[in-house]
Amino acid sequence: MWTGWSSINRQALTQEHEAVRRYREDLATADARRLRALRDQGRPLGERVGEIVRLGDCEEGERLARAAGDFALVEAVRGYCRGVPGDDAPRS
């Protein structure tokens, strides 16, 4: 009995190529959905975190930004909070 290995190999490569292509498309679609969701929630999240930080609760603002996965906002909160003098800082 003869087996046409070249055609079997070609079929396997074609199926593998198609599976990789479908995976990449699914991944791109999921990334696009996540980016849209982040963009839609970004402004309200920033405003909410900004209000919390303005009221003096830097830890809660950072925690909320981190929980949302917005690490740029986490860094912004840290930068802002480091630049704000504490209660024990000398006042002019």
DSSP label of 3: -
Model pLDDT for residues 9-65, shown as the tens digit of each residue: 889 999 999 999 998 888 888 877 777 776 777 788 899 999 999 999 999 999 999
CA dist 46 to 58, 72, 91, Å?
13, 10, 29
Model pLDDT for residues 67-78, shown as the tens digit of each residue: 888 899 999 999
Domain map of the chain by residue range? 5-83
Four-residue CA torsion sign, 74, 76, 77, 81: positive
CB atoms within 10 A of CB 55: 10
